[in-house]
Structures are given as C-alpha cells and as structure tokens.
Amino acid sequence: MTATAARVSVRGMKGLMQERPLNIPSILRHAERLHPQKTVATKTADGVRVVTFAETVGRARRLIGALRRLGVGADDRVATFCWNHQAHLEAYLGVPCMGAILHTLNIRLFADDLVYIVEHAQDRLVIVDKSLWPAWEKVAARVGCVERVIVVDDAPGALPEGTLDYESLLAAAEPAELVEVPEDHAAAMCYTSGTTGHPKGVVYTHRSNVLHSMALCMADAFGIVERDVVMAIVPMFHANAWGLPYACLLVGTDIVMPGRFLVPDVLTSLLVERGVTFAAGVPTIWQAMLEPMKRSRDRLGRLRTVICGGSAVPPSLQKAFHREVGIRIVHAWGMTETSPMGSVCRPLAAHRDRPPDDLDALLASQGRPVPGVEVRIVGEDGSELPWDGRAVGEIEARGNWIASAYYRDRACDRFHDGWLRTGDVASIDPDGYIRICDRSKDLIKSGGEWISSVALECMLMAHPDVAEAAVIAVPHPRWCERPLACVVPRPEARERLTREALIEHLRPRVARWWLPDDVVFIDQIPKTSVGKFDKKALRERFRAHVLPDAAPPPG
C-alpha cells in the first residue's frame, strides 16, 4: 500500500487534447460564423429596431477599435450605465474581447452608492444612455477616475457637453481583429448591494462566463434553442441579465430588448409582436404583467418558458399564471455571486403522475442545483445538514461560476474553504429541491426559534384581498423578535380588509407562535434597485412599532 500511495502522488500524465481558452471571443466567433442572420430587436420610441447578429458583432468589433483609439487597454474597467439594448450587447461583446473588463452599473442605485462603486472599481470610461443622463450627472461630478463618457442616443435632446457620441465613434473606427484572452482573465464585474457596509464587487472570468452559458443552455436548465426568441426583462446590470446575452449568442436565438420601455403593456406587446418564446424577469415584473398578459393570452401562443428569479415566486402568482395565462413559471435561484444560475426548478420524471397540487408545491421550490454547481446547507455550528426537507441552514455553494472573493475585499467572511456562504437559508429535500425560507438577515428569531418571513408572505399574498405583503421582525422584550406583517391591500379591498381577517387566514396554516403579532396596512412596499422587497427600509420604518399585546409563547 505504501508503494501505491507513492504512485498516486506522482504528477499525473497530461491528456492530449487541444487547450483552447474558454473565452468570450470564442462566443463572438461562433455567433458571427454560425448565426449571422439571427437578430437583435430593440424597442425604441418610434417602434422596434431590428439588426442582425452579423451587424451587431461587426459593430462590437468597431467598438473595440474605438475604445483602443481612446486609450483603453487590457484590464481597464469600462462601465455601462444603460438599459437593455443593442449597444449594451455590443459592450458585452466588445469590452471583454479586447481584454478590458465590462462593469455593468446598476442605474437604480442612489448616487452615493454609485460614486463608491465607480471609484472602487476605478472605471476609466463609462457608456451612458442619454435617457439616464440626469442620474449619471449626479455621479459624474463626484468621481475622479472616469476619463471619458460615451453617450448612447436613446432619447431626444442634445449630446451632453464633454461627452462622446457612441454612433460617431463607431462610424469612425475600424473593426478590430480579436485577440485570444486567457480564460482566467477578468471579463466583467458587477457590484452587489451589501447587506451591511459597502457594495461588493464580483469579478467574472472569461471561463466562468463561457461555462455558465453552456450550463444555461443544457436542456434541463434554461434549455434555450436556436428557434427560441428570448426577451430578458431582467436588466443587463442585474447579474448579467442572468447570463442570457452570451447564451443567446452561443445558441443563436433571436434577442428582444425592451430598452427603457419597462411598462407592462409595452412589454406584453413585445412578447406578442416579436413572437417571444422565452422571457425572464423578477416576480414584481410578472406580477405587474399578469393582467396585460391575461388580456393577450390568445396571442401569446409562442411563449413556452417564463423564468422567474431574484426573489421567491409567490405560489399565488405561479397559480395565476398557470390558470390565466396558460404558462407555468420556471423558478430559478442564484445571485450576483453565482453568475447567477445556481438552481432551476424542473419536475423530475418521477413526478410525472403526481397530482396537480403536489406539482404546484414542487414548482414553488427553488429547484435543484444545475450540473456544475454544488450546494450544501450548513447549521449555525458550521456542520453540514441532511437533505431531508426539514433541516434548515445557510446554503453554501461552489463551482466554476461561483465567486471566490470580492474585488479588493479579500478578508470577507462570505468565503471559506472554497465555499461561498450565500446568506440564503433553506431546506433541501432528498431529491435535491431547495426551499429557501429566508435571507439569513430577514429570518425572524423568536424565543430561540426561526420564523420564515418568506413563508408568511407567500401565505398572505395568497389571500384574494392582498396585493403584496412583506413580513419583518420587530424587537420584542421577551421573545427577542416577533413578526410584523406589512400588507398592501388590492385597491377594491381597501375598505374591507382587516387585521383580524388576515390572522384568521393564517391561523389554520401555521404554528400558533408564527402568527404575526400585528398587521399594518401600507400603500406600497419599498423595492430595492433590482425589484426585491426592501426589508431594510421597512425595518427602519417600523423599528419603533408597538405590538398590540404580549405575544403567545413560542412552541
């Protein structure tokens, strides 16, 4: 055995396969060679502008030429402050293919955060939509690193002073030859709003983006095919529009971009008129689109997949889509740190003959980890918990498109032993279906036991008179924390909906000690920049809320 052990430690024999870098240039070459006639359609004020992949890729090559002339070189950060449109896609292609780093800025952040992020990343050049100039202007005055601003002409009005016109730069530039970028080179970065402290930068590699694109196209994941027409409503600054831009180029799907027209009626018209087969967005978008999509149901025959991620999909929304639009929403889970695809909810062959209610319960979960991503759940003491559908712990993830560190923040405790601590708290059932109970920061800790705010919210939103509901923890002298339900009634139910009705609605569905101590009615739930419930803001607002009675003892 000693001899054997010695052999095992010998440096292995290398295989004899070609060593090609997994990089964005390979995606670009594939798109221009195999899918030159596929199209990118962007919504504009006048209608829809449709161009071929050949033209888009040709323009991306010109963008490289233009950026080189402006002195942009390898490793330079080129930021975008843009909606989803063709020029943004050109930046997705051109910037990484020249060895520079694409930095997608979240247009919905406050100026303070943007100033911090731009300075932290040391962006040298920014591509800004003219329609977003008022927001950018507030940032521009306060950052020192940005040398040039290029403006995309997506709205009326003159070019802001001191900026460069995107179209003129492209017209004057030569299309560039591609260079081979090493696969471990940084391709793109995206900051995630920290729960505490400053935003954190995730830096994707060429390799991670290519592997993520391949995994996305696997038939049991997003499974997109050439004959699809894909519309990412999720913004290109929100975790890379979930990886769809590169995946679409790799597979050759037609792409539909809503631009700045994120209005439910306009989006629904795009679905109909462009024959969209595959669309992706956060729950708040699909909630808002339910009514117009119901009205257009007859003309949505080509739509086959609706992906929903970013937050848990309320089962009531899932059911409404199935019943009234004729489509089952596919739930996906991930985050900026996971590129973002971590899990996708698809029924298994074993579920084929299950009753519809079982299937609904299954589809309400976050699904199973995709090949290439490993997950585990870990208790407060750091021990790994079983996949029994009951044990609840923090999800940890590892794999080739999972972050290993934040940019210039290596001491962060989110990373340990090669695993990412996701901050999501979940159970996993024996089949591998993940059920997220909460963000760890949103869990309500009452008398030493956890209460899932997400579970309470889903039940509240299933009530016919409730439009939206968020449940937060408020301090409690005896139980440490107790749940408070913040509820937005449907307009027509504003007069009749009562605290008591909601508590009675919950009573048969949860343990007694899970019942919220109080219900407050509000006009709307504050949202974060990526459309999630902003519970930090709610907790701030209701920090001093006085609960009506002593809560019943837990258990």
Residue 99 binds a second copy (CB under 8 A): yes
Residue 379, SS3 per DSSP: coil
Least Å from the CB of residue 322 to a second copy = 20
Kindly state the helix (H) or strand (E) to which residue 329 belongs, with its residue range: strand 329-334
Task: Kindly tell me which residue out of 45, 171, 172, 179 binds a second copy, with binding defined by CB under 8 A.
Answer: 179
Q: How far is CA 86 from CA 53, 160, 197, 258, in A?
A: 10, 21, 34, 10
Residue 432 binds a second copy (CB under 8 A): yes
Start-to-end CA distance of the chain, whole Å, equals 55
Task: Kindly tell me which residue out of 28, 63, 121, 203 binds a second copy, with binding defined by CB under 8 A.
Answer: 203
Are 41 and 255 in contact by the 8 Å Cβ rule? The answer is yes
Candidate ranges 214-222, 260-268, 289-297, 501-509; the one touching a second copy (CB under 8 A): 214-222
Least Å from the CB of residue 116 to a second copy = 18
Task: Kindly tell me which residue out of 161, 196, 352, 508 binds a second copy, with binding defined by CB under 8 A.
Answer: 352
Those residues whose C-beta lies under 8 Å from the C-beta of residue 168, and which sit 6 or more positions away, are: none
Residue 284, SS3 per DSSP: helix
Residue 223 binds a second copy (CB under 8 A): yes
Task: Kindly tell me which residue out of 44, 51, 58, 68 binds a second copy, with binding defined by CB under 8 A.
Answer: 68
Residue 79 binds a second copy (CB under 8 A): no
Task: Kindly tell me which residue out of 206, 274, 439, 476 binds a second copy, with binding defined by CB under 8 A.
Answer: 206
Residue 225 binds a second copy (CB under 8 A): yes
How far is 340 from 334, CA to CA, in rounded Å? Answer: 5
Residue 544 binds a second copy (CB under 8 A): no
Q: Which is nearer to a second copy, 312 or 420 (CB)?
A: 420
Q: Beta partners for 520?
A: 486
* Interface positions, 16-45, toward a second copy (CB under 8 A): 16-20, 22, 26-27, 29-30, 33-34, 37
Residue 58 binds a second copy (CB under 8 A): no
Kindly state the helix (H) or strand (E) to which residue 51 belongs, with its residue range: strand 48-52
Q: Which is nearer to a second copy, 204 or 321 (CB)?
A: 204
Are 89 and 56 in contact by the 8 Å Cβ rule? The answer is yes
Q: Beta partners for 472?
A: 484
Give CA torsion, residues 371, 377, 383, 387, to 10 deg: -80
Q: Give yes or no: 445 in active site.
A: yes
Are 201 and 79 in contact by the 8 Å Cβ rule? The answer is no
Q: Which is nearer to a second copy, 191 or 514 (CB)?
A: 191
Task: Kindly tell me which residue out of 145, 164, 218, 547 binds a second copy, with binding defined by CB under 8 A.
Answer: 218
Q: How far is CA 467 from CA 93, 286, 486, in A?
A: 40, 13, 11
Catalytic residue among 52, 273, 294, 450: 450
How far is 204 from 77, CA to CA, in rounded Å? Answer: 13
* Interface positions, 435-454, toward a second copy (CB under 8 A): none
Task: Kindly tell me which residue out of 224, 362, 444, 497 binds a second copy, with binding defined by CB under 8 A.
Answer: 224
Candidate ranges 156-164, 394-402, 452-460, 483-491; the one touching a second copy (CB under 8 A): 394-402
Q: Which is nearer to a second copy, 210 or 469 (CB)?
A: 210
Are 452 and 472 in contact by the 8 Å Cβ rule? The answer is no
Task: Kindly tell me which residue out of 174, 184, 388, 449 binds a second copy, with binding defined by CB under 8 A.
Answer: 184
How far is 247 from 24, CA to CA, in rounded Å? Answer: 11
Task: Kindly tell me which residue out of 151, 279, 362, 403 binds a second copy, with binding defined by CB under 8 A.
Answer: 403
Residue 503 binds a second copy (CB under 8 A): no
Residue 395 binds a second copy (CB under 8 A): no
* Interface positions, 363-392, toward a second copy (CB under 8 A): 368-369, 371-372, 374
Q: Which residue has the tokens 């997506």?
A: 154
Residue 202 binds a second copy (CB under 8 A): yes
Least Å from the CB of residue 149 to a second copy = 19
Residue 377, SS3 per DSSP: strand
Q: How far is CA 184 from CA 20, 102, 374, in A?
A: 12, 15, 20
Q: Which residue, among 404, 405, 402, 384, has the nearest Cα to 393 in the 3D structure?
A: 384
Residue 14 binds a second copy (CB under 8 A): yes
Catalytic residue ranges: 192, 337, 445, 450
